[in-house]
Amino acid sequence: MRPVETSPHPVARRPSDLLSPPTPSAADKLEPSVPSKKREQSSPQQSQPPAPAMAGSQRYLRYIVFALVCLLLLFFISSSSSVPSNWPSYANSPAASPEKAQDGSKQPTSANPAADLPPATIPGERMNATFVTLARNSDVWEIAKSIRHVEDRFNRKFHYDWVFLNDAEFNDEFKRVTTALVSGTTKYGKIPKEHWSFPDFIDQDRAAKVRQQMKEAKIIYGDSVSYRHMCRYESGFFFRHPLMLDYEWYWRVEPSIDLFCDIDYDTFKYMADHKKKYSFTLSLYEYIETIPTLWDTVKNFTAAHPEHVAKDNSMGWVSDDGGETYNKCHFWSNFEIGNLNWLRSDAYIDYFNHLDRAGGFFYERWGDAPVHSIAAALMLNKDEIHFFNDIAYYHVPFTHCPSGEDYRLKHKCHCNPKDNFDWNGYSCLTRFYELHNWPKPVGYETDPH
Ligand SMILES: Nc1nc2c(ncn2[C@@H]2O[C@H](COP(=O)(O)OP(=O)(O)OP(=O)(O)O)[C@@H](O)[C@H]2O)c(=O)[nH]1
Ligand SMILES: [Mg+2]
């Protein structure tokens, strides 16, 4: 919050203050019956006995002067509170004149009694949950925007904590700005070096060559070392940071995202009550150039650890040929609400270690989105993955805007349904609906797509 600045100069509050003549002094207002000049003159005169005729006419003169002064005062007061004639008139507005309120009664100003406004704070138990953001100090203003959206649409009603993680120390500005915005408790953690560096089994020359080749092939973030550390960290470590060990549920938030609709219920509690472990709002196809050997590595893992594969899994969502090849569908992991105990489970840790040893985070450019998504698809039962259709979300360049105008209006959504990515050919949501044999959501037919 910006400090309130005090001005050393008296400031005119309205244009009329500059235009109107000065109002009488406080002293004049307190003793209106004796104008100040008159008071000064009166004492010498009182010392001489007045002639009777003079005394009468002087009294009348005084009354006349007094009446004139009163008239002048009244004129000054009324002219200083009037607005210039070229200002718009609100004379007929009920708000401007309470005595003209629509029901004809004189009403004092009162609070809006509308019953359908959501309460400022939603009562009830809170889950053991936190928001989590990986960010650099330079992300401060973009994460500030994201926090504002999350607070306005959800967290001002719940006050969940927010954990910030960084491979460097957070500076004071980052802490000040984010702490001021979050309604829950904020925590700031530095990532240990061993979670944000090349493991010793990685061949540095081979990794550098790949980066050069990807740069020439113009693959997005193809030559970036830090992006690779970020993807590896989000895949295998954030949930093990000491600050995260306190929690069971997380909601991942990135800089520059938008939430478009009010969320009036506790999404963490929803996950717990419905036995969900992982969730998404957007899904799409991955660039195959960044993960050429990921699926083969996964197949090696499932062959070695069949016990980690869920019976009622979502293989049909990630493979069109019963697991032979990967169809590249993944949940977009810049948004996630999920269960930290699942990520900390033996099954997930075995999976991550297997992938990490294969080296694809550095010899290719494996993203945390396909890594999380394949794990969820194969190691969770399909009912444990939740599609948050009601969380309207944007991360450049895609928007999830819920189907159905009725829902959007009731939840004060400000997304344009034309921007909805769900039924676009590059989205994997239709496949998800087919996997579950769900009909398309209400409003699908009438919304533009
Ligand atoms: N501390 C830290 N955080 C990073 C670094 N690189 C990325 N991040 C964070 O990791 C998350 C993902 O990075 P992004 O750059 O948004 O990656 P992306 O979403 O694939 O790409 P964009 O389309 O550019 O958003 C964000 O929360 C970033 O703030 C880094 O080097 N250090
Ligand atoms: Mg991002």
Residue 46 has a pLDDT of: 38
Measured from the Cα of 253, ligand 1's closest atom is 27
Q: Which of 16-20, 200-204, 263-267, 314-318 bottoms out in mean pLDDT, i.e. has the lowest?
A: 16-20
pLDDT at residue 118, rounded to an integer: 58
Cα separation, 254 vs 230, in Å, equals 12
Burial label for 15, CB within 10 Å (0-12, 13-18, 19+), is exposed
Give the residue, by CA position, lying nearest to ligand 1 atom 18.
334
pLDDT at 244 over 70: yes
Mean pLDDT of 324-337: 98
pLDDT classification of 15: cutoffs 50, 70, 90:
very low
Pocket of ligand 1 (CB under 6 A): 133-136, 139, 166-167, 226, 230, 254-255, 334, 396
What is the rounded average pLDDT of the residues 256-271?
A: 97
- Kindly indicate the confidence band of residue 77, based on its pLDDT and cuts at 50, 70 and 90: low
Could you read off the pLDDT of 64-74 as tens digits, one per residue? 777 787 677 77
pLDDT at 401: 98
**What percentage of the chain carries pLDDT values higher than 70?**
77
Pairing status of strand 258-259 against strand 278-280:
unpaired
Supply the pLDDT for residue 122.
82
What is the per-residue pLDDT across 366-397, written as a single tens digit (0 to 9) for each?
A: 999 999 999 999 999 999 999 999 999 999 99
What pLDDT score was predicted for residue 76? 57
> Residue 121: pLDDT above 60?
yes
Provide the pLDDT confidence category of residue 75 given band limits of 50, 70 and 90.
low
Over 60: is that where the pLDDT of 328 sits? yes
C-alpha 180 to ligand 2 mean position (Å): 23
SS3 359: coil
Distance of CA 353 to the CA centre of its chain: 34
Per-residue pLDDT reduced to its tens digit, 410-438 = 999 999 999 999 999 999 999 999 999 99
* Catalytic residue (choose from 336, 405, 434, 445): 336
Cα 358 from chain centre: 38
Question: What is d(CA 216, CA 75) in angstroms, rounded to the nearest whole number?
Answer: 82
Contacts of 365 (CB under 8 A, 6+ apart): 210, 214, 219, 221, 222, 227, 228, 231, 290, 291
Task: Decide if 234 contacts 355 (C-beta within 8 A).
Answer: no
Helices 346-358/225-236 angle, 10° precision: 160
Q: What is the pLDDT of residue 224?
A: 98
Question: CB of 326 within 8 A of CB of 369?
Answer: no
pLDDT band at 114 (very low <50, low <70, confident <90, very high): low
pLDDT attached to residue 4: 29
Q: Best substitution site from 131, 132, 133, 134 to test ligand 1's pocket, by max atoms within 8 Å of Cβ?
A: 134
CA 136–ligand 1 middle distance (angstroms): 8
Instruction: Identify whether 336 is a catalytic site residue.
Output: yes
Q: Provide the 3-class DSSP secondary structure of residue 180.
A: helix
Is residue 207 scored above 90 in pLDDT? yes
Ligand nearest to the CA of 227: 1
Place of tokens 């649409």: 153
Question: Confidence class of residue 24 from pLDDT cuts 50, 70 and 90?
Answer: very low
Provide mean pLDDT across the span 310-318. 98
Q: Can you say whether residue 198 is alpha, beta or left, with left for phi > 0 and alpha for psi between -120 and 50 degrees?
A: beta
Per domain, the residue ranges of the chain are 129-395
Average pLDDT value over all residues in the chain = 84
> How close is the Cα of 135 to the center of ligand 1, in Å?
7
Q: Percentage of the chain with pLDDT > 90? A: 70
Say if domain 129-395 classifies as CATH 3.90.550.10. yes
CA of 47 to the centre of ligand 1 (A): 91
pLDDT above 60: residue 357: yes
- The tens digit of pLDDT for each residue in 157-198 reads 999 999 999 999 999 999 999 999 999 999 999 999 999 999
